[in-house]
Amino acid sequence: MTHHASTQNSTRLANPFSTPLYLFLFSFALSCIFAAAAFAGEAREKVLYNFQGTPDGANPSSNLVADKSGHFFGTTPAGGTSVSCEIAFDEIVACGTVFELIPPAAGGAWTEKVLYSFQGGSDGSSPMGALTVDSAGNLYGTTLYGGGSTNCSTGISGYYPGCGTVFQLSPPSSQGGAWTESILHVFQGVSDGAEPWGGLIRDAKGNLYGTTFLGGGGYCDGYGAGCGSVFELSPPAAGGSAWTESILYAFNGNGGSFEDGQGPMGTLVPDGKGHLYGTTNSGGSCSDPSCGGTVFQLTPPSVKGAAWTETLLANFNNIGDGAAYPGPGIVFDKAGNLYGTVQLGGNGACDNQAEYAFPSCGEVFSLSPSSGGGAWTFSAIYSFTGGRDGAYPGRSGLIIDGRGNLYGTAPYGGGRGRAAQISKASPEPHAGPSSS
């Protein structure tokens, strides 16, 4: 399906990744935080911290954010001090944490400090996405479950309690004090979304933007619980206390055809011109909800309060090399080209290796805008082979450095029995036009 985008922009989003310093590190399968240098030759890894589950958290799955002092902040969907959650990650039953990693003074060990341990009730449970931070040091994030809504006990989140939350953690007024959690929004499921897997981005006015994997209406589960949503949270006006949620786009399933996408899981990416970009894990132009997914653009309305417009930049059901199931994170280069990963597709022959279940091994792709505003051009720029380079990327996003090199992870392959791999892909000369 073609969705026609408005050519006017009434809202301008600041790039939330400019200040303070953001550093993305990936963790797959290993319950540890690590740093790696992959700029020349063999990557060198150093474990900064090993999680124990209780009370410090378990299974860190998201990117890290760093403050100006070099402290890292992140989330774990499991572990912590609570015993009230029924969600088990690798047999660790707890509600998750927000943590800080403090660098050593000189050559010593890094120190982990749990800033908040979720209890699984109205405060939320299982934070999966990355945090974002404002100039005052407040942290913002999402929890997959919890919040107190009773609308998601069946049908959407199964037996997991609650539809999820957006929260703020405020630093203590005095050193050594406790951080304070404030719930900015409790998702209600069908009406406004459920299960926010991704992190948040923040604009210059303090508005927060994110996605929910389910909820928002639509037909994707067969009885209307929803296909996911893109939302905005606006801070309260002077003297107020409540944040205001606006649904910018609800993936509607188009009457059961799923053509506009289903299940956004990642953090959105702004372009500085008011557009928002993201991926859906499934959906697209076929009659099955398990279709290969999409890359989408959302354009703000020319009139305040009107609907945002979705444009599909890539539909992974009609790409010749079998590319499917895009990862939750995409990035821009300086020329306005988008880069991402897909778990399947490419010319790698993983079916020739007994350890793999799917014939292709996944790939890294680019999307280049047209100078005339037409369709974006898809290019496969690297196909994984399932050997030392890994297989099945797409469970995490990419990062890009100032020279255009891309970095990411592949949770399988890599040789030597490693469960995760950091990869570097250097760009070929790219003729894609600029969107700036």
DSSP state string for 130-196: PPEE-TT--EEEEESB-SS-STTTTTTSTTS-S--EEEEEE--SSTT---EEEEEEE--BTTTBB--
Residue 268 domain-assigned (yes or no): no
Give percent above pLDDT 70 in the chain.
75
More confident of the two residues 181 and 427: 181
Question: Which tens digit of pLDDT belongs to each residue from 52-74?
Answer: 888 898 888 888 899 888 899 99
More confident of the two residues 303 and 14: 303
Is 257 strand, coil or helix?
Answer: coil
Question: Which tens digit of pLDDT belongs to each residue from 73-95?
Answer: 999 998 898 877 765 444 556 79
Which band of pLDDT confidence, cut at 50, 70 and 90, is reported for residue 16?
very low
Number of domains in the chain: 1
Question: Which tens digit of pLDDT belongs to each residue from 99-117?
Answer: 999 999 887 889 999 999 9
- Does the pLDDT of residue 11 top 60, yes or no? no
- Does the pLDDT of residue 30 top 60, yes or no? no
Structural domain of residue 100, as residue ranges?
A: 17-202
Residue 214 domain-assigned (yes or no): no
Question: Which tens digit of pLDDT belongs to each residue from 261-276?
Answer: 888 999 999 998 899 9
Q: What is the pTM of this model?
A: 0.84
Residue 406 domain-assigned (yes or no): no
Arithmetic mean of pLDDT over the chain: 79
Q: Which residues make beta-bridge pairs with 132?
A: 140
Q: Report the pLDDT averaged over residues 363-376.
A: 89
More confident of the two residues 211 and 175: 211
Give pLDDT, residue 98: 97
Residue 152 domain-assigned (yes or no): yes
- Single out the residue of 66, 78, 74 nearest to residue 33, CA to CA: 74
Residue 96 domain-assigned (yes or no): yes
Lowest-confidence segment of 51-55, 256-260, 361-365, 384-388 by average pLDDT? 256-260
Residues 6+ apart with CB under 8 A from 61: 27, 28, 75, 76, 77, 128
Strands (E), 40-138: 44-50, 65-66, 72-76, 88-89, 92-93, 97-102, 111-117, 132-133
Residues 6+ apart with CB under 8 A from 225: 155, 156, 189, 190, 194, 214, 215
Give pLDDT, residue 119: 92
- CA pair distance 159, 385, nearest whole angstrom: 38
Residue 349 domain-assigned (yes or no): no
Residue 122 domain-assigned (yes or no): yes
Residue 287 domain-assigned (yes or no): no
- Single out the residue of 373, 362, 372 nearest to residue 411, CA to CA: 362
CA 255 to chain centre: 27
